[in-house]
């Protein structure tokens, strides 16, 4: 049985507030397989970014937070790594790009140098060799007139161009996995499409895996191989993209998909999910979605459900006791993801 490239198990990140420790994400588990695209999807504040930053070891303030669980990248457990060893992994084996291309480049350094720098820092290349490689990378991310762009500063580049530069930097050391945290949210629609297709082509060409964080289900449908839906800091459903859109099983996913306007179907009313996401220090006991769920039973509020595989599809897992009971009333297989 092949091993996943990135294995995340029970990842929990707690933040300290004035009244105690509260989990911003809880028991997040998923796998990323080589060369696939996993989309982490969910509304704002559901813990998508915290999940990525926890895996990357990028959350600030060591005294104010705690990360527990297990993260294994390519056989190497990451959470226990000392800072220095973790730095050698970041940018080399695993990279990340961010939402704001306008502010993610250093305004006082030429872009060529910024693209070359990961190669100098990690690859031990000299400046000339690194800049030659940087030129190749800028070509690779389809920046026109790359050799002229090398000496330019970020403010001379458009937003889409800057995001390409960010991608070139992230990919400079040929990482095995790239986290993209809402990489196109700040860009206009045509540029969005270009950047997404660039990411997809680069994934196919380099054999890397892509973890795409988004709240846009249209992006999910066009990019993902598999999807993990997050709600209030937990993964509530994970499935292949086909299974998720064809058979959304968790009530939250179902309502989320029902809330998208569609051009190809005549829908009279869009579903709205009543209520709002609970605050981090006021999470309900039991299932976190229960207060807003149309299926909720008294039992849902008693105990938090575990992520459980459906009987029909081992890799389609949901965190909902009602739906699991409906699907397989005689045999509930809790924790089947292990």
Partner 1 sequence: MTEASVSLAAAAAPARRRGAIGTIVAAFNANKTAWLGLAVFLAIALAAALAPWLAPFDPIEQHIADAMTSPNATYWLGTDTFGRDLLSRILWGARISIVIGVASMAAGVIVGSALGLMAGYWGGRIEQLIMRSMDVLLSFPTLIMGLLVVAMLGPSMVNLIVAMALTMVPKFARVARAPTIAIKERDYIEACRALGYSDLRIMFVHILPNVIGDILVLASLWTATAIRIEASLSFIGLGVKPPTATWGGIIREGFDNIMDAPWISLYAGLAVLLTVFALNLLGDGLRDAVDPRLRGE
Q: Which residues bind partner 1 (CB under 8 A)?
A: 56, 58, 86-92, 95-98, 100, 103-110, 113, 117-118, 121-122, 145, 147-148, 151, 153, 155-156, 158, 166, 169-170
Query: Tokens at residue 67, please?
Result: 């990360």
Q: What is the Cα–Cα distance from 23 to 63, expressed in whole angstroms?
A: 15
Sign of the four-CA dihedral 100, 105, 161, 47: negative
Residue whose CB is less far from partner 1, 138 or 236: 138
Which pairing describes strands 6-17 and 65-73: parallel, antiparallel, or unpaired? antiparallel
Q: How far is the CB of 131 from partner 1 (least distance, A)?
A: 10
At residue 190, the 3 state secondary structure works out as: helix
Q: Assign residue 235 a region: left if phi > 0, alpha if psi is -120 to 50, beta otherwise?
A: beta
Query: Which is closer to partner 1, CB of 174 or CB of 262?
Result: 174
Sign of CA dihedral 257, 262, 267, 270: positive
Residue 195 Cβ, how far from partner 1 at the closest point, in Å? Answer: 16
CB-wise, 159 or 291, nearer to partner 1? 159
Nearest-approach distance from CB 300 to partner 1, in angstroms: 38
Distance in Å, CB of 275 to partner 1, minimum:
33
Phi, psi of 63 (to 5 degrees): -80, -20
The neighbour count for residue 107, using CB atoms within 10 Å, is 8
CB of 307 to partner 1, least distance (A): 28
Least distance (Å) from partner 1 to the CB of residue 216? 21
Q: How far apart are CA 97 and CA 87, in angstroms?
A: 16
Report the C-alpha gap between 219 and 217 in whole angstroms: 5
Closer by beta carbon to partner 1, 153 or else 245: 153
Nearer to partner 1, 136 or 315 (CB): 136
CB of 62 to partner 1, least distance (A): 11
| CB nearer to partner 1: pick between 121 and 327 | 121
Closest residue by Cα to residue 253 from 241, 245, 261, 264: 245
Asked whether 175 and 94 are in contact (CB, 8 A), the reply is yes
Smallest distance from partner 1 to CB 223, Å: 21
End-to-end CA distance of the chain: 13
- Which residue number, 81 or 327, has a Cβ lying nearer to partner 1? 81
- What's the rounded Cα separation, in Å, for the pair 129 and 10? 42
Residue 313 C-beta-side C-alpha neighbours within 13 Å: 16
């Amino acid at each position: 049985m092949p091993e996943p490239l990135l294995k995340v198990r029970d990842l929990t990140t707690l933040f300290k507030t004035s009244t105690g420790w509260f989990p911003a994400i809880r028991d997040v588990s998923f796998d990323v397989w080589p060369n696939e695209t996993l989309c982490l999807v969910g509304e704002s504040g559901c813990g998508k970014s915290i999940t990525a930053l926890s895996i990357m070891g990028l959350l600030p303030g060591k005294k104010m937070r705690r990360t527990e669980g297990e993260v294994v990248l390519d056989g190497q457990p990451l959470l226990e790594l000392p800072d220095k060893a973790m730095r050698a992994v970041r940018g080399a084996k695993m990279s990340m790009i961010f939402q704001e291309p306008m502010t993610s480049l250093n305004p006082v350094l030429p872009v060529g140098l910024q693209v070359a720098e990961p190669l100098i820092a990690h690859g031990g290349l000299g400046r000339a060799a690194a800049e030659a490689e940087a030129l190749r990378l800028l070509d690779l991310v389809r920046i026109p007139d790359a050799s002229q762009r090398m000496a330019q500063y970020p403010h001379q580049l458009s937003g889409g161009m800057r995001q390409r530069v960010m991608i070139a930097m992230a990919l400079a050391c040929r990482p095995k996995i790239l986290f993209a945290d809402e990489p196109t949210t700040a860009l206009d629609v045509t540029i969005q499409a270009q950047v997404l297709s660039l990411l997809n082509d680069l994934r196919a060409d380099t054999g890397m895996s892509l973890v795409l964080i988004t709240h846009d289900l249209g992006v999910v449908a066009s990019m993902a191989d598999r999807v993990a839906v997050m709600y209030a800091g937990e993964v509530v459903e994970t499935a292949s993209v086909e299974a998720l859109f064809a058979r959304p099983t968790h009530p939250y996913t179902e309502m989320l998909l029902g809330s998208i306007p569609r051009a190809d179907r005549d829908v009279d009313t869009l579903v709205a999910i009543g209520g709002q996401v609970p605050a981090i220090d006021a999470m309900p006991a039991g299932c976190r979605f229960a207060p807003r769920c149309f299926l909720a039973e008294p039992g849902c509020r008693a105990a938090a459900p575990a992520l459980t595989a459906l009987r029909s599809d081992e890799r389609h897992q949901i965190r909902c006791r009602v739906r699991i009971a409906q699907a397989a009333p005689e045999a509930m297989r809790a924790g089947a993801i292990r």
